[in-house]
Amino acid sequence: MNNLIWFRNDLRIADNASLRKACEGEGVIAAFFFDPRQFDIGDFGFKKTEKYRAKFLIESVTELRQNLLNINIPLLVFHDMPEAVIPTLVTDYRIKNIFLQKEWTRDEAHVLDAVRNKIPDQVHIEESYDQFLFHPEDIPYSDSINIPQVFTQFRKKCEKYAEIRSIPETSSTITQNNIRENDTQIPKLQDLGLSDFELDDRSAFPFQGGEEQALNRLRDYFWESENISSYKKTRNGLIGKDYSSKLSAWLANGSISPRTIYWEIKRFENEVNKNESTYWLIFELIWRDYFKYVSLKHESKIFKIGGILDKIYAWKNSESAKEQWISGNTRERFVNANMKEISQTGFMSNRGRQNVASFWAKELEQDWRIGAAYFESLLIDYDVHSNWGNWMYNSGVGNDPRDRKFNIRNQAERYDTQGKFQDLWLEERLF
| Residue 295 assigned ligand-binding role | no
d(CA 297, CA 142): 12
| Residue 231 assigned ligand-binding role | yes
Helices (H) and strands (E) in the chain, counts: 17, 5
| Residue 248 assigned ligand-binding role | yes
Q: What is the DSSP letter of 95?
A: E
DSSP string, 299-363: GGGGGSTTGGGT-----B--HHHHHHHHHT-SS-HHHHHHHHHHHHHS---HHHHHHHHHIIIII
d(CA 129, CA 254): 12
Asked if 366 and 321 count as a contact pair (C-beta separation under 8 A), the reply is yes
| Residue 68 assigned ligand-binding role | no
| Residue 52 assigned ligand-binding role | no
DSSP string, 351-415: HHHHHHHHIIIIIS-B-HHHHHHHHHHH-TT--HHHHHHHHHHHHTSSS-TT-----HHHHHHHH
DSSP string, 12-41: -STT-HHHHHHTTSSEEEEEEE--GGGGSB
| Residue 416 assigned ligand-binding role | no
Q: Please state whether beta strands 2-7 and 124-128 pair in parallel, antiparallel, or not at all (unpaired).
A: unpaired
d(CA 304, CA 112): 22
| Residue 383 assigned ligand-binding role | yes
DSSP string, 192-209: GT----PPPTT-S-----
| Residue 183 assigned ligand-binding role | no
| Residue 382 assigned ligand-binding role | yes
- Cβ neighbours of residue 136 under 8 Å, at least 6 residues apart? 129, 144, 293, 296
Where do the H-state alpha helices sit in 70-129?
A: 82-92, 106-116
Residue positions forming the annotated binding site: 231, 244-248, 381-383
Residue positions forming the annotated binding site for FAD: 231, 244-248, 381-383
